[in-house]
């Protein structure tokens, strides 16, 4: 029975190979949301809560969807909120290169459509995600009802990189931004996962629940994340330069917009530009971000850069204010920032806050 013997040996080899692969393959944590096919790759989307408008979060560079657990849990009590991972981040497979603003926005647009999430949306952009949601509103204006910018940068803002102050758009070379695409090319990265690292979670992610910290330990070492984030950084100056080259004042119309600005920039004194100069520039340009619409407000928050972790209540309240403005078609309240912490630091707000319609609510925060 040579055929049966050969079949038995083949089956045994296959079984042993399967066991070996199962032992060596890295264990991928279960995603909290769904993996949805977008063209030739899958993306992770986690939507919770009910109600309209739906809030969509665009995280900062290198950050993953589960870093927003505090805000997502709170906001899902009054509306629907979706966090997602850009291609190559966490559970999302790598997608088409290069990672231009247009390509990133196209991926998100297709992801929301594939998931049957209905707009128009309230977009939340943190850090690197701020320019991304502004670009999304430019590409898909009918799909954006309001925006929240969480400690993001202005295109004219200089930031410290490797001990030197840099204007990101100043590194643009005028490259043509290619049209976005769904189909993967042979040169695009392939999905690859490796085991979680053992390095301790860095602040402020160490404030996250233990389970979320473990997810960060896993996500940060994934090779696809590094490749995608590098492409995002490489192409970001091109879009920032285009923003700077065209008028931005009221460019987003009358959509409700809130700009959350951290109280102190925290610049070091050993940079090639004095910290006081950078701080003055930062605060001035944060005010300019509030001029992107005719229906906006700026709130100064005593927090670090990662407000969704350091000050999730402030972020949630801002989301709620925008959601309410969209639902009621009413302008945003122009009351000053009367949170207890800022109130204590700025006694001049006493008279202004006393007349604010939401004075007691803010003072209790």
- pLDDT one-digit tens code per residue, 205-224: 999 999 999 999 999 999 99
- pLDDT tens digit string along 264-279? 999 998 999 999 999 9
Dist CA 322 CA 127 (whole Å): 19
Pick from 164-173, 186-195, 351-360: least confident: 351-360
Average pLDDT over residues 308-330: 97
Dist CA 226 CA 224 (whole Å): 5
* pLDDT for res 27: 86
The CATH code for residues 25-334 is 3.40.50.1820
* pLDDT for res 40: 85
List CB contacts of 314: < 8 A, sequence separation 6 or more: 260, 299, 301, 303, 307, 339, 365
* pLDDT for res 231: 97
Burial label for 339, CB within 10 Å (0-12, 13-18, 19+), is buried
Name the DSSP letter for residue 170.
G
Structure confidence at residue 319 as a pLDDT band (50, 70, 90): very high
Structure confidence at residue 39 as a pLDDT band (50, 70, 90): confident
- pLDDT tens digit string along 56-88? 999 999 999 999 999 999 999 999 999 999 999
Give percent of the chain above pLDDT 70. 84
Domain with CATH 3.40.50.1820 in the chain: 25-334
* pLDDT for res 25: 52
């Amino acid at each position: 029975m040579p055929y049966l013997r050969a079949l038995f040996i083949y089956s045994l080899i296959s079984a042993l190979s399967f066991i070996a692969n199962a032992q060596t393959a890295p264990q991928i944590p279960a995603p909290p949301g769904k993996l949805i096919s977008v063209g030739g790759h899958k993306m992770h989307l986690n939507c919770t809560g009910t109600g309209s408008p739906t809030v969509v979060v665009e995280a900062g560079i290198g950050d993953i969807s589960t870093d927003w657990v505090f805000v997502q849990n709170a906001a899902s009590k009054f509306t629907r909120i979706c966090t997602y991972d850009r291609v190559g981040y966490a559970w999302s497979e790598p997608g088409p290169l290069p990672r231009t603003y247009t390509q990133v926005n196209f991926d998100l647009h297709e992801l929301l459509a594939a998931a049957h999430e209905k707009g128009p949306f309230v977009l939340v952009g943190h850090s690197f995600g701020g320019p991304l949601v502004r670009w999304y509103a430019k590409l898909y204006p009918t799909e954006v009802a309001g925006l929240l910018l969480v400690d993001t940068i202005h295109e004219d803002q200089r930031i410290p990189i490797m001990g030197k102050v840099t204007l990101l758009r100043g590194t643009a070379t005028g490259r043509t931004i290619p049209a976005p695409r769904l189909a993967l090319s042979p040169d695009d990265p392939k999905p690859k996962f490796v085991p979680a690292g053992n390095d301790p979670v860095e602040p402020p992610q160490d404030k996250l629940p233990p389970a979320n910290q473990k997810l960060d330990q896993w996500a940060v070492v994934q090779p696809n994340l590094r490749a995608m984030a590098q492409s995002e950084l490489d192409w970001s100056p091109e879009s920032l330069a285009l923003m700077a080259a065209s008028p931005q004042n009221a460019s987003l119309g009358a959509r409700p917009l809130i700009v959350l600005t951290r109280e102190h920039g925290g610049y070091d004194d050993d940079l090639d530009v004095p910290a006081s100069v950078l701080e003055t520039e930062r605060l001035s340009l944060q005010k300019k971000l509030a001029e992107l619409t005719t229906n906006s407000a700026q709130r100064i928050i005593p927090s670090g850069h990662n407000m969704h972790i350091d000050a999730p209540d402030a972020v949630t309240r801002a989301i709620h204010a925008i959601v309410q403005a969209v639902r009621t078609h009413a302008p945003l309240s122009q009351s000053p920032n009367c949170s207890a912490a800022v109130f204590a630091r700025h006694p001049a707000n006493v008279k202004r806050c006393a007349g604010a319609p939401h004075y007691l609510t803010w003072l209790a925060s």
